[in-house]
Amino acid sequence: MDKRKLGRSGLSIAPMVFGGNVFGWTADEPTSFAMLDRFVERGFDAIDTADVYSAWADGNSGGESETIVGNWLARRKRRDDVVLMTKVGMLEARKGLSAANVEAAAEDSLRRLRTDYIDVYFAHVDDTEVPLDETLTAFARLVESGKVRAIGASNYGAERLVQALSVSKERGLPRYEVVQPRYNLYDRGEFESGLADVTGDNELGVVCYFALASGFLSGKYREAKDFEGRDRAVFARNYLNDRGLAILAALDEVASQTGATPAQVALAWLMARPRVTAPIVSATSVAQLDETLGAASVALSPEAIAILDRASAATGG
């Protein structure tokens, strides 16, 4: 499978990342193991998790996803062919990006992941209360010790990302090599209005989350009754409007032309974006994962991309 570079980090990944937010929440450990096995069997190699996953679920306190990934790695007895991404800053017990917190959280994550290094360690969310040089210096110590290979910024705006890159250059510190924004066919404005240019100008990797807009772009939510009994669909409700339905119609049109599913088309559109390294995808069963990963084989024509662009950009999303 073709690999894509993650900025200037020296790391390369297949064009889809497995999102571990479901591990320990809607996917128990055996199901998570089966999906992780299938993911690497299909030629994919990057796994995204965070210390806060999945603290929001009843009975959880955070770290459940990392623990499952760590148990899987230990059972598999191979670490070198997987690119492991995790994050710091949102778990209540390890909140923020102070130097002490970043380094303590890294140790917690390494223990749960049962590994001695993290490939990409993300600041999960910008922390304006902490100087950028303090956070970046903490990351530098982790890189120098070999505990982290590269660092990334999740949920950073364009201006703050530029500032962080400037601090890294001026201080001789490791720079953010990968960014993780919300980006999909519906949510285009924030990334395309400035962040995309920053990533291009600085050769940064882009691994985007909410790639299917909380499942809305799969086409399974088309009217209010479709949300009944689906607690996880709370975010997808925000997309059920005239613009969202126009995007679904475009996805249906392209899906009928290509023989792909709407979800596969939506992911293929992301993988074809010039600034995107890979979308993050998740699943709750092996069958669902197999369908999702099929998006990597969907080639969209310029005409198909134009149909999707018109539906998603014409009204200024």
Catalytic residue, from 53, 121, 183, 239: name it. 53
Residue type, 249: A
The answer to whether residue 53 is catalytic is yes
Q: Assign residue 153 a region: left if phi > 0, alpha if psi is -120 to 50, beta otherwise?
A: beta
Counting beta carbons within 10 angstroms of the beta carbon of residue 81, is it exposed (0 to 12), middle (13 to 18) or buried (19 or more)?
A: exposed
Is residue 151 within 8 A of residue 87, CB to CB? The reply is no
Backbone angles phi, psi at 94, to 5 degrees: -135, 50
Strand 12-13 relative to strand 17-19, pairing: unpaired
**What is residue 279's three-state secondary structure?**
strand
CB 148 within 8 A of CB 142: yes
Instruction: Determine the Cα–Cα distance for residues 108 and 84; give it in Å rounded to an integer.
Output: 15
Tell which phi-psi region holds residue 195, choosing left (phi > 0), alpha (psi between -120 and 50) or beta: alpha
The DSSP bridge pattern shows strands 4-5 and 83-88 to be unpaired
Residues that are catalytic: 53
